[in-house]
Amino acid sequence: MTDSTVPSAPDRVFIRDLAIRCIIGIDEHERQEKQNVIVHITMHADLRKAGRTDALEDTIDYRALKKRILHLVEESRFLLIEALAQSIADECLRHDRIERVEVTVEKPGALRFARTVGVQIVRSKGDS
């Protein structure tokens, strides 16, 4: 089987349970103080070269990406978690190797009697 017949981005790199504080929400009290959000990210990329070379430059540097996402979220002031998730997906897709990304943003304690609420989005390079 040649590389051209292999489905694109069969491999995944993920970050789970990334806890970040930010301004998020539509209610006045939500706009005053930072709240906790939990972010889960799954990035689809072809990792075969990294598996062969054992070189960081051939994979996704998830530490550097995490730092960019932390900065992005901590400085954000979105009304909707959908917009926050989109912004995170856009940041991930800037990486050359990432072809597709799944982003889940949870807002613990947003609803009474529910542990958490959230959204999950899936975006690919070339999506509008």
Q: What are the catalytic residues? A: 107
Alpha helices, DSSP H only, in 1-128?
A: 48-53, 62-75, 81-93
- Spatial neighbors of 20 by CB under 8 A, at least 6 apart, are 36, 37, 38, 39, 69, 70, 73, 74
**Cβ-Cβ contacts under 8 Å for 11 (sequence gap 6 or more):** 44, 45, 46, 47, 48
Report yes or no: 80 and 26 within 8 Å, Cβ to Cβ: yes
Q: CA neighbours within 13 Å on the CB side: how many for 90?
A: 9
